[in-house]
Amino acid sequence: MSASIEHLLREAFPDARELDVVDRTGGGDHFHVTVVSPRFNELALVDQHRLVYDALAAPLGDGTIHELRITTRGES
Amino acid sequence: MTELRDEIKETIDREPVVAFVKGTHEQAYCGNSERAMQALRSVGVAFAAVDVLPDPAIRQELTALSSWPTIPQVFVRGELIGGADIVQELAANGELEAALNEKLGPDWRNGGEERTIPLSAGGASFRLAPPG
């Protein structure tokens, strides 16, 4: 599951300088994703996280992702 | 708009700081809800908690309003600040206090007691359910 989440994030953030997906529990449904992208520059954290939620709407919507922690940063 | 959605909207607009959580301010049933409430406490702001667990419709209607897919959700003066990760980060880097100053004015530390507020429309589906 980590690989498909990473794939979705790569598609959404092709310019990501850093992209990491951690399966927090090993159970394949609790994840911590980190995305560093210039796309986040000038965006409030709430809007940065919205972009991540948008990218992962499918696995969030069907319950594949039970819990998601998000770390985002812009980069100039 | 449903009656429940109206009530959620009114709550978001009325309460200076409101956290929609799994559980109550005294007992969170989710680590993320607890993290968000602890982050609010860490800056000393009193907040109203709303428990989304009594009725799945609360979460559905809340997400329909906020377009935010997960719980918890923290609002300040009617505006979504974020979930647990964001509130924790903003509390740690000082931006949460800055946002509270900006949105609530300098007296937000005297905002009263932390509490959990019930939704009258929430839980209706449970009350109407036939006894099991």
pLDDT tens per residue across span B102-129: 999 999 998 789 999 999 875 544 444 4
> Is the CB of residue A36 less than 8 Å from the CB of residue A72?
yes
Asked if A34 is an interface residue toward chain B (Cβ–Cβ < 8 A), one would say no
> Please, what CATH class does the domain formed by B3-117 belong to?
alpha beta
Output the pLDDT for position B112. 86
Cβ of residue A30 closer than 8 Å to a chain B Cβ: no
Question: What would the pLDDT profile of B48-83 be if each residue is shown by its tens digit?
Answer: 999 999 999 999 999 999 999 999 999 999 999 999
Q: What is the per-residue pLDDT for B27?
A: 96
- Angle at which helix B84-93 crosses helix A45-55, to 10 degrees, equals 150
Whole-angstrom CA distances from A20 to A13, A46, A70, A75, B3 are 12, 19, 10, 16, 41
Cβ pair B69:A67 closer than 8 A: no
pLDDT of residue B57: 95
Among B85, B88, B93, the residue to mutate for chain A (most A Cβ within 10 A) = B85
Is-contact A12 A54, C-beta < 8 A? yes
DSSP state of A52: H
CA distance linking residue B100 with residue B45, whole number of Å: 9
Q: Does B68 touch chain A (CB under 8 A)?
A: yes
Give the CB-side neighbour count of residue A36, counting CA atoms within 13 A: 5
How do B115-116 and B48-51 pair as beta strands?
Answer: parallel
Rounded to two decimals, the pTM is: 0.91
> How many domains does chain A fold into?
1
A6: CATH: 3.30.300.90
